[in-house]
Amino acid sequence: MKSSKRRLQALTESSDGLPNYLKMEDSESSIPPVFRCRLHELFSQIEKEFDVLYTENLNLQEKIDILSEKLERESYVGDRQIVDYVDFETSGKNSKVKLSQSNSQKVKTSHKLKVQTSKIVSSFKAPTYSCQLIREFTGHKDGIWDVTTARPGQALIGTASADHTACVWSVEWGKCLLQYTGHAGSVNSIRFHPTRDIALTSSGDNTAHVWQAAVNWDLPRGQSSEEELDGGGEESLGESDRPEVLRTPLTELSGHMGVVVAADWLTGGDHVITASWDRTANLYDVETGDCLQILTGHDHELTHASSHHSSRLVVTASRDTTFRLWDFREPIHSVSVFQGHTESVTSAVFTREDKVVSGSDDRSVKVWDVRNMRSALATIRSDSSVNRVSVSSGGLIAIPHDNRQVRLFDLQGQRLARLPRSSRQGHRRMVTSVSWVEDVASNMNFFSCGFDRRILGWSIQPSKDN
C-alpha cells in the first residue's frame, strides 16, 4: 500500500517536484497580484527550508549506509572465525537457520534462529563486485519508468518517461539522439527490436506503439543533453543541434480498455505481447497491428510482461500476487500459474538458464525453475518494495527499490554488491528500472533510472579482491 501511494504521488507531481495544483496559470487565479506575489514568496521560502532538510537527510542517510557496511564487514570477519558450517532448513515464509559450533572440548551447541535468509547470507559474504558511476543522462521533464539497452553493437539506450516521451540516447556521447512524442499519456515501457531499428513503447493512453528508432549519429557532440530537450533554448539552437523529434508511429496497437503498463517483443520480433490494467495481456501481429489473442485469467491489474530470449514463452505479472507463464510454442497455448508472493508482483523476467526471477511489493525477489512451479529455488529478502528487476546473461540479478537502493545478487540468492548511494552518486528518488548491457566491450555495462528524472550509467566489474 505504501509503495502504491508513493507511485501515485510521483504521477501527480510536476517535473519540479511541486504538486500540480500549485502550478496554476495566473489567468485562472482570482487572488490579487499583491497577495499572489506574497504567496509565491512564502512558497519559495518553504521550498528553501525543505531543500536544507532534504540535504541534511541525505547526509545522515549516507552516514548510516557507511556504518551499515562497516557492521556487515565486521560481522563477516567475526562469524567466519567461529562458525564451522551453516545448514539452511527452509520451511514456509521464514527460514530456520541452524548454526553449529565446536571448541577444543568438543562441546556441541545448537541454536535455531528465525531470520531472513538473505541477511544471514549477506553477513557471511563480502561484496564481490565493484560499482562505479560513469555517466549521468538528463533531459526528461518528469519521472522515468523504464530503461532498456539496444542489441549488441549499438551503443544506445532507450528510456520511457511520465512526461509522455520516449528517448533514444547515445551511450558514448551522453546525448539524446531521438525523441518520440507520439503517445498521449505517460510512456511506461520501451524495448528495442532484436534485429531492426524500431522500438516498442506502451503508454497510459491505452495503446502500444511501434516506431522507427533509426538515429542521427551526426548530432554535434558538444551539446548537453539537458539543453537539447529544453524548449527554452530553441532560439539559440539550430535545427541540427536538437534531437530529431518523431511523432508518428509505424503501427499503433490498440484494443486495451486500460493503461498499457508494459510491452515486449516475442522471439523473432514478429509478434508483441502487451500487459494492461484491464487485467488482460494481448498478443499482436506487428505488421498488421491485429490482436491475435487476448490472454485472460489474472484477477487484478497486470504490472509487467516479458518474453523469453529464444523461445515463444511469456511471463505476465499482476497485482493479484501471482505471475503466469504462457507457452506459445504449440498452436493452442498453455498457461501455468506461479504463486509465492504475498503482495503485488511488480516484474517477472527470464534468465538464460530457463529460470524466472520475480520481484514483488512484499519486499522479496524469488528465483523459480520453469519446470517446477511448486516452490522457489531461492528467496531474497529486502527492506523495500521491488520494482523492475533485470538479469544479466551471466546470471547477475539487479534489484531496484523504492528506497533508492539498487542491489546485486546471484541466482542462488547470494548478495554481491550494492550500488553507491550518496549526495554525489546514486538516485535521489525511487529507482524504477535497471538494464544490463550484453556487449562485453562496453565501458558502461549497467543502467538505472528513477523518478529523479535521471539515467545513470555504471561500470559493474568483479572486485579485484575476489
The pLDDT tens digits of the residues spanning 123-141 come to 445 568 999 999 999 999 9
The answer as to whether 226 is a domain residue is no
| Number of other residues whose CB lies within 10 A of the CB of residue 271 | 20
Is the pLDDT at 390 greater than 90, yes or no?
yes
Is the pLDDT at 105 greater than 90, yes or no?
no
Lowest-pLDDT range, 56-60, 291-295, 326-330?
Answer: 56-60
Count how many domains the chain has: 1
Q: With cut-offs at 50, 70 and 90, classify the pLDDT of residue 441.
A: low
Residue 295's domain is classified under what CATH number? 2.130.10.10
> Tell me: the pLDDT tens digits for 179-193?
999 999 999 999 999
Most confident range (mean pLDDT) of 28-32, 82-86, 406-410 is 406-410
Q: With cut-offs at 50, 70 and 90, classify the pLDDT of residue 415.
A: very high
**Mean pLDDT value across residues 210-223:** 73
> Tell me: the pLDDT tens digits for 110-121?
343 444 444 444
- Is residue 340 within 8 Å of residue 381, measured between CB atoms? no
**Nearest residue to 243 (alpha-carbon basis) of 256, 254, 234:** 234
Name the residue with higher pLDDT: 420 or 439. Answer: 420
* 425: its cell numbers: 552518486
Supply the pLDDT for residue 97: 36
What is the per-residue burial (b if ≥16 Cβ within 10 Å, else e) of 31-48? eeeeeeeeeeeeeeeeee
* 308: its cell numbers: 523469453
* 62: its cell numbers: 549516507
The answer as to whether 109 is a domain residue is no
The answer as to whether 77 is a domain residue is no
Q: What angle do CA 189, 195, 196 make, to 5 degrees?
A: 75
The residue range of the domain holding 250 is 129-214+241-462
Report residue 419 CA to chain centroid gap. Answer: 14
Lowest-pLDDT range, 8-17, 55-64, 146-155?
Answer: 8-17
What is the per-residue burial (b if ≥16 Cβ within 10 Å, else e) of 96-127? ebebeeeeeeeeeeeeeeeebbbbbbbbbbbb
The answer as to whether 228 is a domain residue is no
- Is residue 143 within 8 Å of residue 453, measured between CB atoms? yes
CA–CA gap between residue 339 and residue 341 (Å, rounded): 6
Q: What pTM did the predictor assign?
A: 0.74
**Nearest residue to 222 (alpha-carbon basis) of 202, 240, 206:** 240
Q: With cut-offs at 50, 70 and 90, classify the pLDDT of residue 4.
A: low
The answer as to whether 166 is a domain residue is yes
Q: Please name every residue paired with 19 in a beta bridge, in sequence order, or none if there are none.
A: 13
The answer as to whether 271 is a domain residue is yes
**Mean pLDDT value across residues 348-369:** 96
Is the pLDDT at 59 greater than 90, yes or no?
no
The amino acid present at 4, given as its one-letter code, is S
- Edge-to-edge strands, sheet with 109-115: 85-90, 95-101, 109-115
**Mean pLDDT value across residues 315-335:** 94
Mean pLDDT of the chain: 81
The answer as to whether 364 is a domain residue is yes
The answer as to whether 392 is a domain residue is yes
